[in-house]
Amino acid sequence: MLVQIHPTPNPNAHKYTAVGLRFDGPLNASTPEEASVHPLAARLLLLADVYNVFLVQDFVTVNKVAEAGWEQVDEQVVPIIELYLEGRMME
């Protein structure tokens, strides 16, 4: 799966897209409880440098803490999205 990474106007947010990425409804999660309703959000929010996940239509936006570098965060986020797209993430 080819996950594309897009910068956003917010320097602490990246947008991720991929063919086949689709969500039934929007989800904005900043706590484990909020993220628990969707396996992708729950998994992404477990990352130490991620403090918010937004799933909507055909993309994911991840917010990171300011101190974290995007290279490190992207290297963790992309494989998680790929697992989700491959159906290898538990619901």
Q: Within a domain: residue 38?
A: yes
> What is the per-residue pLDDT for 5?
98
What integer is the mean pLDDT of 23-49? 96
pTM flag (> 0.75)? yes
Q: What is the pLDDT of residue 87?
A: 87
DSSP three-state, residue 18: coil
Tell me whether residue 91 is in a domain. no
Mean pLDDT of 22-42: 95
Residue 90 located in a structural domain: no
Counted domains in the chain: 1
Question: pLDDT by residue (tens digit) across 45-90?
Answer: 999 999 999 999 999 999 999 999 999 999 999 999 999 999 887 6
Task: Kindly report the CATH number assigned to the domain that includes residue 22.
Answer: 3.30.1370.70
Structure tokens at 39: 């396996």
The residue ranges of DSSP E strands in 1-91, in sequence order, are: 4-7, 13-17, 27-29, 50-56, 59-64
Range(s) of the domain holding residue 51: 4-85
Quick count: other Cβ atoms within 10 Å of Cβ 29?
20
